[in-house]
Amino acid sequence: QAVDYQIAISGMTCAGCVNTVQSAIAKVDGTIKVEVNFASHLAQVTSSARYQELLTAISDVGYQGELVT
């Protein structure tokens, strides 16, 4: 079942980065909802994927994610 994750993202320096991270997370199987906030550097994700898969998808596009909750 899908759960809510809050992931802190490092390395985002512009709105383009936000889009890159957002689409990378959206492509992970099981992801229902993703919202990346540039100001807070936080991603709110609803997904049935394991969080490790989300963190891998984020690092694959050149950023670093850390699970908050």
Among 16, 39, 52, 69, the residue binding ligand 9UX under the rule CB under 6 A is 16
Q: Does 39 participate in binding ligand 9UX (rule CB under 6 A)?
A: no
Write the DSSP string, 36-69.
EETTTTEEEEEESS-HHHHHHHHHHTT-EEEE--
> Could you tell me which of 49, 42, 22 has the C-alpha nearest to residue 34?
22
DSSP state of 26: H
**Cβ 61 to ligand 9UX shortest distance, Å:** 10
Q: By C-beta, is 43 or 49 nearer to ligand 9UX?
A: 43
Give the residues lining the site for ligand 9UX (CB under 6 A).
13-14, 16-17
